Amino acid sequence: MYVAISYCELKSCAKVNLEMLGIHPKGLVSPNPLNAVRLNIPNSPNISVLFCTHPDGEYIVEEISGYKLIIKKPDSKKIKANLEGCRNQKDFTIWVFEPNGNHWMPTHLETLRAFHNLNRPNKQSLFCAIKDVVLNFIEPVESWRTHHCQNIIVEGYPSLLILSYLKWMAVLEDTHYPPNTYLGRKMAFAGYVLINSGLYTPDEIKRLPGIWQ
């Protein structure tokens, strides 16, 4: 979703460090933003099936204040899931492209570590926003505004960026682990529940069976 945000909403979202909330694996070819096609699919319970009907390629799926989320849908790595109505049962990767050209793949573990470092009020507000995006299929910008996350910075990144890539990470989880058989997006969301409870640290969650890598 392409979002028009006012200067007042984004004035506190300037990047202040070089920490990534993910990884850039060696040997993995990243997408080319110049070749990527813009694609707008609203958040909904069937978003994984809708996206799966699109052919292999590179897609700009979200754009926020100079940041771009680009999905690369390769021709290989077929997944085992059998999504009803899905013509292209393929794996895909999610990339964040920063305004300066840096790019990386977001991971739950690095995001959980950054989430863990927030102060309690900001953590609670962002948790509610994440829940709305992941479990209630609310658009990231709507949830961001509803839960007053405009001034929340996560390791130097705007909280709207985190909500936006979590939307698509949830799509990936539903694709790999269809909810009718598995937990899908709920499995990864459990990590945010555990961190928000204050009873677990990201390093403890890392040792649990799950997909928080």
Quick: pLDDT tens for 84-120.
556 556 689 999 999 999 999 999 999 999 999 999 9
For tokens 């694996």, what's the residue?
Answer: 25
In the chain, % of residues over pLDDT 90? 65
Global pTM exceeds 0.85: yes
Question: What is the pLDDT at residue 29?
Answer: 85
Question: Looking at the predicted structure, is the pLDDT value of residue 13 above 70?
Answer: no
Closest CA to 93 of 81, 101, 105, 82: 105
Integer angstrom CA distances of residue 5 from 11, 19, 40, 145, 190: 10, 24, 17, 11, 30
Average pLDDT over residues 128-147: 98
At 211, which amino acid appears? I
Question: What is the pLDDT at residue 70?
Answer: 97
Please report which confidence band the pLDDT of residue 191 belongs to, taking 50, 70 and 90 as the band edges. Answer: very high
Please report which confidence band the pLDDT of residue 7 belongs to, taking 50, 70 and 90 as the band edges. Answer: very low
Quick: pLDDT tens for 65-83.
899 999 999 754 555 555 6
Question: Looking at the predicted structure, is the pLDDT value of residue 213 above 60?
Answer: no
Question: What is the pLDDT at residue 102?
Answer: 92
Integer angstrom CA distances of residue 195 from 74, 125, 157, 192: 33, 13, 19, 5
Question: What is the pLDDT at residue 19?
Answer: 60
Integer angstrom CA distances of residue 171 from 11, 43, 176, 187, 188: 30, 9, 9, 12, 11
Closest CA to 71 of 54, 83, 84: 54
Q: How far apart are CA 57 and CA 40, in angstroms?
A: 14
Question: What is the pLDDT at residue 182?
Answer: 86
Residue pair 81/178 in contact (Cβ under 8 Å)? The answer is: yes
Question: What is the pLDDT at residue 8?
Answer: 42
Quick: pLDDT tens for 39-60.
999 999 999 999 988 999 999 9
Average pLDDT over residues 1-9: 46
Phi/psi of residue 134, each to 5°?
Answer: -80, -45
Quick: pLDDT tens for 160-179.
999 999 999 999 999 988 88
Would you kindly state where each structural domain of the chain is located, as residue ranges? 7-206
Mean pLDDT (the chain) is 86
Question: Looking at the predicted structure, is the pLDDT value of residue 1 above 80?
Answer: no
Question: What is the pLDDT at residue 16?
Answer: 39
For tokens 């890392």, what's the residue?
Answer: 206
